[in-house]
Structure 1
Amino acid sequence: MNPMSAAKFMERKHRIVVIGGGPGGYEAALAGAQLGADVTIVEASGMGGSAVLTDVVPSKALIASAEAATAISDAEELGVQFYVRDDHNNPRSSEVTVNLSKLNQRILRLAQNQSDDMRRNLKDHGVRIIEGYGRLDHGGVAVATSPGGTDFDRLEYDYLVVAVGASPRELDSAKPDGERILTWKQLYNLSTLPEHLIVVGSGVTGAEFASAYRALGSEVTLISSRDRVLPGEDTDAADVIEEVFKRGGMNVLSRTRAESVVRDGDEVVATLSDGTEVRGSHCLMAVGSIPNTAGLGLEDAGVELTESGHIRVNRVARTSVPNIYAAGDCTSFFPLASVASAQGRTAVFHALGDQVRPIGLRNVASNIFTYPEIATVGWQQKDIEEGTREGRVYKIDLASNPRAKMQGFRDGFVKLIAGNNLGTIIGGVIVAPRASELVLALSIAIEQRLTVDEFASSWAVYPSLSGSIVDASRAMHVVDRNA
């Protein structure tokens, strides 16, 4: 190539096409624009995808309202009482009521505002946005106005990022109707609070919504096919949440499976594996999700999928096709919005030759927004017990924390996992209100390979919930026996 041709080649912008505008696609598009690429993003339902419009943002907004209801209900323990006056100016006890129609309107408004902000930010960065459905087509992307449509525009790309997300899994034996039998996407269409909500599935989604609707005032029955709620989480943490659920009046049915859920007039009937029937006003099916990869032409393009339909990617989000990347819940990686965002950025940085740090899932922090919350990061106690990793475990109950006592928190704990020799912090679990905020300190400690002694030398405000993390690290002091 002569110098003039080389110069022209260097001047040509790389063309990046992103299919899907969720957290992964959004961050990929921003990263591409930041590096000077010509970026086009294809999204059908609205910027932010399901994470912003029907999943993460709405559900956490609902949970915030549930936390407010819990705070009011528990206020009397702190000496704060709420009264109304009757016609004779005598105080009468008041009760917390929830206007679900107004609450859901606020939730959807917040979600739309977030989507609009994301769209505006992409526009400001010069990203071209196309509303439609994209699929791979002979080395390009065909964009139709409807799924599987035959009238389409064609986009050429140098690099492609697929970030199409996932959808709620539906069972033929419990088909959602959008009125009484619901997926988590359909909950925000309700105008009145369910009198009795049956939740099928005790994983993260089921536990979060069961917790929220019980706090809002619904009778809740949680059906779990496993021996406890949150079967994939730290056992101590799951035990705390199940105890809180039961103490709060939730009916938790463990070791049983819902064989079917059908509608019976204004009720729903869940038939369990032992033949028992559970009747309620509504049912939330929280039985997992499936990737939105069908009909995209991925396999025809040579992109390798798992048996479940997820896109196989490596630690830089690259697929089996060198110039095709994927990010988010449609991939074989961890289904978290934060991971999707990291994958999107990493994919584009790698494609365009920028500095890349491959994603390591071991140190990803995650959070379950029950009340109290559960935050985890790094190696866990089961890894130590099973011999996968050597280390020590120390747990301190939140009930001993002075700030927790002041605020009336009695459920929860801080658990640290550290290496045997130097005491390097390698993992942890926090069960507490706002655990999602507290876990950042542990994430930093793990990333920076701090020891328990180094962490113990940091200053925590007294009194504070974060003080329990420092207290736990002090309790794990490593004695230098060579001194």
Structure 2
Amino acid sequence: MKDVSENNETLTPEIVVIGGGPGGYEAALVAAHTGANVTLIEEHGVGGSAVLTDVVPSKTLIASADLMGRITEGAQLGITLGEPHEDTAINVDFQLVNERLRNLVKQQSRDIRTGLESAGVTVIEGRGRLIDNTTVEVTDSTGATQQISATYILLAVGCHPRELPTAAPDGKRILNWTQLYQLDEVPEELIVVGSGVTGAEFASAYNGLGSKVTLISSRDRVLPGEDEDAASTLERVFARRGVTVMARSRAEGARYTDSGDGVIVSLSDGTEVRGSHVLIAVGSIPNTENLGLEAAGVHVQDSGHIKVDRVSRTSVHNIYAAGDCTGVFPLASVAAKQGRTAVAHMLGDTVRPLRVHKVAANIFTSPEIANVGISEADIAEGKVQAESAMISLPTNPRAKMMSVQDGFIKIFSRKDSGTVLGGVVVGPRASELIYPLTLAVDRKITVDEMADTFTIYPSLSGSIAEVARRLHHTTED
């Protein structure tokens, strides 16, 4: 293995980024703006899976489902599309929905590439792999190769869908989440295998678009890793909207029906579930195979994820990693933060390491589920001395005006000081409502300070202040 010369530290750093997702392109932009020579290598398109096959297309699809849901429920607000008191069918041009999101994906990828090149980043289309800790080999689509020398290397190679060997996706009726956007019609009966974030989001979206959805969960509930109150709320909504949840059911495989116009999912107990399509959403695998990690001396965990420290550095001092390939947190925002942190550490800039307990996350179901900081389970297990308070969102005056039927706001605060340690929001645009709680966690704001801050009346955020007031400690306490 080569060593990075000390003399290189006084020269303009040569930074090579493998992977053009949020962790890679954010890092490349930051590094270029500091004057470093930056080369970004991406095989499938700038933006990575977050832009091309995951976050951007899925949330665009969800936006269409959300609009349809609001129109469907408009009668509660006195709004109909046809004659008064008549049932009005709402049609989905699913080919147009998917065409729109595919065009948006291409536009977003082009915009990111333009921004990179405008900043001075050299973008190379191809697959990168490590030869050693200072050399990256790039293979383009024709098989031609070139080698690039680097002072520092950032690995941001992402992940791909985990597959069941007995349910290999074909992009027609047996699908993974990257293949959904090629369909021309809404699946009549969609079976979703997997009750984590991806499975729950797509089950919610396709239910909103008109599919008859069956969700198969190997666990005892939907979203087993999330707040229990939030998961219970979503399950109630699913039940009301006609989503069938099969808990404690493990899928063994999927096959076509004899007629070829549907699928059959086999469960471990012998049960068979029939539908028109099946989505396999059983996790992901990091894209670290054949990356040359062993040759460069980079340590990899048993799961295939690259082991990194709090500044995104691997076991090799000049090689860093960011994003889903590290297994730290499968969020685009975290990947971007890891990439920026890596560049700051490489270049000797001020470094603020990633603090995972301050990361806000959102699940784009209907209703949305957002959280930050500690959880109810942390309190129950005695990991932290804290208390919680919760308000049902439908009791909020603005929510009543909007005909919001489901949701809540929950805050966790430290017992002695009242410092906000975390929170959960379930409701429309929870991804926006979680921000004041994230700010409170990050800046160690107390519940009394939140309660004393003005909110708009009427507003959904008014309930955040109200929950904070419920956690107030008197001086006698």
Q: 2:217 aligns with which of 224, 249, 261?
A: 224
- The structure-2 alpha-carbon separation of the partners of 1:150 and 1:101, relative to structure 1 and needing over 3 Å to count, comes to closer
Asked if the contact 1:66/1:216 (under 8 Å) is kept, the reply is yes
Where does residue 387 of structure 1 map in the other structure?
Answer: 382
Contact (CA 8 Å) 1:316, 1:346: kept in 2 or not? yes
Checking the alignment, whether the CA contact within 8 Å between 2:388 and 2:410 is kept in structure 1 is yes
**Residues 1:9 and 1:288: Cα distance change in structure 2 (over 3 Å):** closer
CA RMSD in angstroms, aligned pairs only: 1.4
TM-score (norm 2): 0.96
| Aligned partner of residue 304 in structure 1, secondary structure | coil
Deviations 1:302-341 (A, max 9, x none): 1000101000001100000000000000013111100000
Q: Displacement of 1:411 after TM fit?
A: 0.3
Aligned to 2:397: 402
AA matched with 1:352: L
Q: Shift in Å at residue 40 of structure 1?
A: 0.2
Q: Counterparts of 1:91 and 1:447 in 2: how far apart (Å)?
A: 50
> Structure 1 CA distance, aligned partners of 2:354 and 2:276?
44
Instruction: State yes or no: 1:253 paired with 2:252.
Output: no
Distance between the aligned counterparts of 2:53 and 2:205, measured in 1? 16
After TM superposition, the structure 1 = structure 2 runs for residues 5-404 of structure 1, keeping only pairs within 5 Å, are 12-83=11-82, 93-138=87-132, 139-146=134-141, 151-264=144-257, 265-404=260-399
**AA partner of residue 117 (structure 2):** K
Tell me, in whole angstroms, the C-alpha distance in 2 between the residues paired with 1:239 and 1:337: 26
Q: Which residue identity is paired with 1:51? A: A
Is the CA contact (8 Å cut-off) linking 2:216 and 2:250 kept in structure 1?
Answer: yes
Matches of 2:166 and 2:8, distance apart in 1 = 57
Contact 1:199 1:206 in 2 (8 A): yes
- AA aligned opposite 1:387: G
The Cα offsets for residues 156-190 of structure 1, whole Å up to 9 and x where unpaired, read as 00000000000000110111111000000000000
TM-score norm. by structure 1 comes to 0.95
Q: Which whole-Å deviations, capped at 9, do the CAs of 1:277-301 have from their partners, x for residues lacking one?
A: 1110000000000000000010221
**Is the Cα contact below 8 Å between 1:313 and 1:332 reproduced in 2?**
no
Structure 2 equivalent of residue 440 of structure 1: 435
Contact 2:8/2:151 (<8 A) preserved: no
Q: Which residue of 1 aligns with 2:450?
A: 455
Mapped partners of 1:43, 1:273: distance in 2: 40
What letter is aligned with 2:413? Answer: A
Aligned partner letter, 2:359: V
Distance 1:92 1:474 in 2: 45
CA shift for structure 1 position 92: 5.5
Cα-to-partner distance string for 1:375-430 (whole Å, 9 max, x where unaligned): 00001111000101110011110111001100010200000000001110000000
Compared CA separation, residues 78 and 91, structure 1 to 2 (3 A): closer
Alpha-carbon distance, 1:104 to partner? 0.1
Residues 226 and 107 of structure 1: CA distance in aligned 2, closer, same or farther (over 3 Å): same
1:478 is paired with a residue of what secondary structure?
A: coil
Q: Distance in 2 between matches of 1:366 and 1:93?
A: 38
Task: Give the Å deviation of 1:117.
Answer: 0.7
Partners in 2 of 1:475 and 1:349 — Cα distance?
41
| Structure 2 gap ranges (5+) | 1-5
Contact 2:80 2:88 (8 Å CA) reproduced: no
The 1:132/1:177 distance shift into structure 2, 3 A limit, reads: same
SS in 1 for 2:432: helix
Q: CA deviation at 1:10?
A: 7.2
**Residue pair 1:41, 1:129 contacting (<8 A) in 2 also:** yes
**Residues 141/10 of structure 1: CA separation in 2 closer, same or farther (3 Å cut):** closer
Distance in 1 between residues matched to 2:387 and 2:410, nearest whole Å: 10
Distance 2:10 2:322 in 1: 28
Per the TM alignment, residue 93 of structure 1 is displaced from its structure 2 partner at its CA by 3.8
Cα distance, 1:346 vs. partner? 0.4
Q: Which has the larger displacement, 258-267 or 433-442?
A: 258-267
Unaligned residue ranges in structure 1 (runs of 5+): 1-5, 85-89
Aligned twin of 2:3: none
Pick closer, same or farther for the CA change 1:91–1:454 going to 2, 3 Å.
closer
Instruction: Check whether the contact 1:375–1:431 (CA below 8 A) recurs between aligned residues.
Output: yes
- The residue identity in structure 2 corresponding to 1:463 is P
Determine the structure 2 residue equivalent to 1:87. Answer: none
Residue identity in the other structure for 1:26: Y
Do 1:306 and 1:332's aligned partners in 2 also have CA atoms closer than 8 Å? no
Q: Which amino acid aligns with 2:423?
A: G
Indicate how the Cα distance of structure 1 residues 408 and 428 shifts in structure 2: closer, same or farther if over 3 A, else same. Answer: same
